[in-house]
């Protein structure tokens, strides 16, 4: 809401903002909103993935459940909506695939039967948390019409 409110304040136009993160059940929901900076402020995607894998070292697959969560906000004149998109998965024990970014090489999607990094952009967008959240935007816009 903070980003969307500021966008509306600065432009006077309807503003859309989102925040996303990876929640790992074994780690009590971490890294969560700190996903981009999990291994530190100047960490690379690889640093973050390596830290995650080290935290889950020797954790059995049935305890490696995780989800990507995206929360979106839309703010305008007398309008404030929030909604979310979720994609459930499992953190793999090793990196797989070369597409995408961030945690994609270790996020295995049961819906796809592969990691996000092994999926095409079209496949990933069909099941991703952001894709699901963006598809809900049409419902929000219908409410405003």
Residues annotated as part of the active site? 19
The pair of structure tokens assigned to 68 is 């990507």
Contacts of 60 (CB under 8 A, 6+ apart): none
How far is the C-alpha of 125 from the C-alpha of 44, rounded, in Å?
23
Distances (CA, A) of 94 to 4, 32, 58: 37, 20, 12
**Largest Cα span, the chain:** 52
């Amino acid at each position: 809401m903070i980003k969307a409110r500021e966008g509306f304040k600065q432009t006077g136009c309807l503003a859309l903002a989102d925040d996303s993160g990876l929640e790992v059940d074994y780690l009590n929901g971490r890294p969560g909103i700190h996903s981009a900076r999990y291994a530190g402020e100047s960490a690379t995607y690889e640093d973050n993935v390596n830290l995650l894998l080290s935290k889950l070292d020797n954790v059995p697959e049935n305890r490696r459940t995780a989800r990507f969560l995206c929360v979106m906000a839309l703010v305008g004149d007398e309008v404030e909506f929030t909604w979310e998109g979720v994609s459930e998965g499992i953190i793999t024990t090793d990196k797989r695939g070369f597409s995408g970014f961030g945690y994609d090489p270790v996020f295995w999607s049961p819906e796809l039967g592969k990691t996000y990094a092994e999926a095409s952009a079209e496949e990933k967008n069909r099941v991703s948390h952001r894709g699901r959240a963006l598809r809900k935007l049409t419902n929000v816009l219908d409410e405003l019409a």
